[in-house]
Structure 1
Amino acid sequence: MFQQGRRIMNPVLIISYETFRAHSAILTKSPIGLVICDEGHRLKNSENQTYTALNALKTQRRILLSGTPIQNDLLEYFSLVHFVNGGILGTAAEFRKRFEIPIIRGRDSSASPAEQQLGNEKLNELASVVNKCIIRRTQALLTKYLPIKIEQVVVCRLTPLQIELYKMFCKSNNIDELGAKDESDLKLSNSTLSAITQMKKLCNHPELIYDKCVKKEKGFENALKLFPSNFDIRNIQCELSGKMAVLDYLLAAIKANTTDKVVLVSNYTQTLDMFAKLCVLRRYNYVRLDGSMTIKKRGKIVEQFNDPCSSDFIFMLSSKAGGCGLNLIGANRLVMFDPDWNPPNDDQAMARVWRDGQKKQCFIYRLLSTGTLEEKIFQRQAHKKALSSCVVDNEEDVERHFSLTELRDLFTLNENTKSDTHEKFKCKRCVNNIQVKPPPEDSDCTCDLSQWNHCADKKNLVDPILKAVWSDTISFVYHHHSHVEQRKTV
């Protein structure tokens, strides 16, 4: 690495974060001319070992590359800026007091005019400082080279079994003691996170919490008697889950009416197991990628699936194992079965089919359970994206939809709603849940969800497949396109 002589070379070392951390004691001994960190959001925590090791490098020139500099909170943004330009924003404590607290309070939907004004002033002040060392480019530069994408958020009602199990769990002592007590996002106890996981699995399908019911674990002591007498854990029963029933209809319609392939994404390998049962039941050919698969085998099945001559209809994907970097342009429809707390994780997973090389129009389906924790997670995603739009992209007039109090209320089931998210929007374009004013002409699926199309029935849907499978199980749909196709002039 260190060379001398008449012809001095400029060596380049390409290394992963994990390998660098393992050999940092050697690599930090000598000066480095330039450090470039791809996927820079890996350094969002200034206290982790990777950040500390990289920060110890003897270099004055550092570049971070990241499409998502804010994933959860403003301290992540501070960490990235501090890495490339240490001291420009002061210490973490100074940054929190000077910028984070007033900006967060100003973004709250219940903020007073004075708090909103102070928040906007601090946003402008922050932008004037960090813009000296940031170049921002968005995906909009590439959009015109890709086919149109239709993104759809499909809100699905719980089944009676799911509702009873959900209410029983929420009424248990396990839930009464839970909740976030401060303004920080998701600084929750282990017991709270465990409860959230069980509720998310229940929203996917009651089968996923059946073992908890058998063991009579806290919250499910008397739940076993609620299951139908014909319940069999070995077989998939789609009718017991609202989202699974919609998925079953959706796949059948796609298979019968198109030649399209589908990517199914979930955060849980247990849910992938259910997808496999469904594919066996309906005789769909499928391949599966999760964390247990080797890199070599991953490349092989991706190549096989993308082959137009392949008979594989479905690609099952664990979002944590393959949500980033995979090219699955053999499919042009993707179903995001459950939401992640971190919006870039979902965005990365949904980008697997809509990318360079794709020739067909793409359809993205994001499934959420009506009035449940899943809508709360989705609302947090919207809140984080709005914060990022204000801070990173310097956008003005970004809507304030949610208060911190509402976002902390994770464990309330809203049974009497078509979409809890739409209610919180207090939408001015809809009357009695009917859209009477279309989205702004310059809006697209990167805009705030309040500027999408809002559908309480199937009349205004643009996807013929979703329109064909509309049923009482679907309570609400948000949809928008990526861009308007430019007509070629002769």
Structure 2
Amino acid sequence: MQKIVSEHEERVRKLLSKPFKIPVPGYQLSGRVLGLRLPGPRRPLHDPNDPNALIVYSPPELSEHERLKIDSCKQLVHVVVDPILCNVLRPHQREGVKFMYECVTGKRIENAYGCIMADEMGLGKTLQCITLLWTLLKQGPEAKPLIDKAIIVAPSSLVKNWYNEINKWLNNIVNTLAIDGGKKAEIDTKLLRFMKTYGGRCVTPILIISYETFRLHAHVLHQDEVGLVLCDEGHRLKNSENQTYQSLMGLKAKRRVLLSGTPIQNDLLEYFSLVHFVNQGLLGTAQEFRRKYETPILRGQDAAATDDQRKLAQERLSDLVSVVNKCLIRRTSALLSKYLPLKHEFVVCIKMGELQTRLYKNFIQSESIKRSMEEDDNPKKGGHLSALAAITLLKKLCNHPDLIYDKIMEKSEGFEKAAQLLPSHYSTKQLLPELSGKLMVLDCLLASIKTTTNDKIVLVSNYTQTLDLFEKLCNKRSYNYVRLDGSMTIKKRSKVVENFNSDTSSDFIFMLSSKAGGCGLNLIGANRLVMFDPDWNPANDDQAMARVWRDGQKKTCFVYRFLSTGTIEEKIFQRQAHKKALSSTVVDQEDDVARHFTINDLRDLFKLEQNTVSDTHDKFKCTRCVNGIEVKGPPEQSDCNSDLSEWRHSHNPRNLPDISLRQCWASGISFVFHHRSHEHIK
């Protein structure tokens, strides 16, 4: 009896003496203890000797003597990017993270802690910024985080996108507060809670907020300091006078990062606003900037400039570039060619239909237009048609007469005598593609793509009325389609995009209003895109065109821009080239952006150039084309980022690299500029 008890006793004691085991299967202790600092010297958070480690800060080398003297608890340590992010960064992204880290820690410019991440679209700006954010929140040279919390300000359509991206790349290991709309009092409470949390143990260290909400609740956000502010689509801050800019400037944040794939949209002063936002005073005041840089540079860029003006412009430009390059990093999408499939870009000039031409001439020769031209020179008060309204009407007419049918019926200004030009029985109920040159080509292109490939296509227009036309065309030809414009909620938007990109989706066409869908959308389910009408702002067009040729795309891409030959559309396109020349001079430093257009050229908008296959090509005074034949190819190093004069010029369909476009030539194409993204290596 005694023996049994002792055996039992022994067994129980043995069981009790085992250390406690956590009952959750697969759970491992981190080895860290709350509130207890480990003794011994400071250590970096991640191993700097790891073969793939990205070290953004290395402490200064110490001699043996200095090492003996220094207190091991005060020794600086390496700052190494977290391996979960490091392993997914591409070489250019690693370089970008290091550059931004050096900027926000004041290493590149003394007492300046801001930077502009101006990589072109598709290079992964979001991932680079998340990496920077996570590194600053978790570590620093003194073995403690450099910042407690950060604010990301983005357009409302991208707030959810940022939230998803942070969770995706960081595997949900950080709490994020995303705010876009809601009751004012509730938002104030949430923001107050965020602002009043201090110390290294911030429960929710990241706030994502839309520009609009930020402006409305600035009084709460201005109360305390924030470690870092990050502004996405930063070209919204191009006007230093507006309220959004002012309310962001009032934020107590010395570290500022601004993301923008398009730093210059309209002029150099906007560019100044962006640099001034991240590093106040770096370029002086707005007046000093205008006097020292803007005026001489613009004078030197005009095609009519003297040699002295060009020389001065060049000097001032190199001064500006050397100052700004310390806090701006920009890589062009040429880098992407290593990772992305080939892209063919086409600028397609299309003759207007007969009815369009008659209506166009009737409008530009009308008394109303002549009056509005005089008024622009000599503004008097009067209810006449403004030049801008006239431009919009002409752009709509270039798309299809249906878009201005109401104005014709109302006999509104410029269309007083237009009704008699319409054929009898004209009706907008049934769509007639034959009445529009561009719509005929589109109709033919879609039919060819549908029957000869299994590609999907994105159609982009500036006008929702044009999207209505596309819908009618799809119904007429029984194509499956989805449509995204400003009326669609953000939540529904992401579902529609996700569904379109899936292989199982039967949708053939994705319709997009360029204002609603330009920024941040990922439509890699399609590999063809048509820009049906040009925008005044090249950045809007470029944003829309980067929807398909981006990370994750596997097929060869085809991007088509439609222009009505000799019309206002070609002239808008030429104006875009002027803006692009401005942007690439400062940001990309392409020295020889051809000075094809004098500023006076841009004033003849209301002329219809009739006897031409392409007004833009005529303006180049192209030396590579003789009697309608391109006798000399483009320069070897050129690609679709080059100036248009260095693209291929096609006067006939013979050498077009896209079979579908060749089949459409007879529908009314008069001329095509085309080029590829990079040399295809077989």
Structure 1 length as normaliser, TM-score?
A: 0.94
Distance 2:437 2:390 in 1: 21
**1:445-464 residue CA offsets vs partner (Å, 9 max, x unmatched):** 01111110011111221111
Which residue of 633, 637, 643 maps to 1:438? 633
Distance 2:352 2:229 in 1: 50
Distance 2:627 2:488 in 1: 49
Q: Equivalent residues in 2 for 1:346-357 (5 A)?
A: 346-357=541-552
Among all aligned residue pairs of Structure 1 and Structure 2, give the percentage whose two residues are the same amino acid. Answer: 66
Q: Secondary structure at the match of 2:512?
A: strand
**Residue of structure 1 in register with 2:164 after alignment:** none
Distance 2:204 2:254 in 1: 17
Aligned: 1:480 with 2:652: no
Q: Are the equivalent residues in 2 in contact too, given 1:67–1:138 (CA < 8 A)?
A: no
**Residue of structure 2 in register with 1:213 after alignment:** 408
**Alignment-mate amino acid for residue 89 of structure 1:** L
Distance 1:339 1:8 in 2: 47
**1:155-210 residue CA offsets vs partner (Å, 9 max, x unmatched):** 0011121111111111123222445979xxxxxx9812111110100000011001
How far did 1:7 drift?
Answer: 5.6
Over 3 Å counting, the alpha-carbon distance change for 1:221 and 1:441 in structure 2 is: same
**Residue of structure 2 in register with 1:236 after alignment:** 431
Please say which structure displays the higher CA radius of gyration. 2
**Alignment-mate amino acid for residue 617 of structure 2:** H
Distance 2:613 2:478 in 1: 33
Which residue of 379, 388, 406 maps to 1:193? 388
**Residue of structure 1 in register with 2:335 after alignment:** 141
**Alignment-mate amino acid for residue 585 of structure 2:** C
Which residue of 315, 319, 323 maps to 1:129? 323
How far did 1:125 drift?
Answer: 1.8
Identify which range, 336-345 or 433-442, moves more after superposition.
Answer: 433-442
Aligned: 1:331 with 2:494: no
How far did 1:112 drift?
Answer: 2.1
How far did 1:143 drift?
Answer: 2.5
Distance 1:15 1:204 in 2: 38
Q: Secondary structure at the match of 2:219?
A: helix
Aligned: 1:104 with 2:310: no
Which residue of 581, 586, 598 maps to 1:386? 581
**Residue of structure 1 in register with 2:255 after alignment:** 61
**Alignment-mate amino acid for residue 548 of structure 2:** V
Q: Are the equivalent residues in 1 in contact too, given 2:334–2:678 (CA < 8 A)?
A: no
Over 3 Å counting, the alpha-carbon distance change for 1:27 and 1:117 in structure 2 is: same
Which residue of 366, 370, 385 maps to 1:176? 370
Aligned: 1:162 with 2:356: yes
Q: Are the equivalent residues in 1 in contact too, given 2:640–2:676 (CA < 8 A)?
A: yes
Q: Secondary structure at the match of 2:349?
A: strand
**Alignment-mate amino acid for residue 641 of structure 2:** T
**1:397-446 residue CA offsets vs partner (Å, 9 max, x unmatched):** 22101011111221111011111111111112111232111111111101
Aligned: 1:315 with 2:544: no
Which residue of 589, 592, 595 maps to 1:397? 592
**Residue of structure 2 in register with 1:44 after alignment:** 238
Distance 2:199 2:518 in 1: 46
**Residue of structure 1 in register with 2:570 after alignment:** 375
Aligned: 1:247 with 2:442: yes
Distance 2:333 2:537 in 1: 19
Q: Secondary structure at the match of 1:14?
A: strand
**Residue of structure 2 in register with 1:409 after alignment:** 604
Over 3 Å counting, the alpha-carbon distance change for 1:178 and 1:422 in structure 2 is: farther
How far did 1:94 drift?
Answer: 2.4
Q: Are the equivalent residues in 2 in contact too, given 1:175–1:195 (CA < 8 A)?
A: yes
Aligned: 1:425 with 2:623: no
**Alignment-mate amino acid for residue 135 of structure 1:** I
Structure 2 length as normaliser, TM-score?
A: 0.68
**Alignment-mate amino acid for residue 474 of structure 1:** I
Aligned: 1:118 with 2:312: yes
Distance 2:477 2:432 in 1: 12
Distance 1:197 1:415 in 2: 20
Gaps of 5+ in 1: 183-188
In the comparison of the two structures, how many residue pairs are matched?
481
Distance 1:3 1:205 in 2: 57
**Alignment-mate amino acid for residue 611 of structure 2:** N
How far did 1:296 drift?
Answer: 2.2
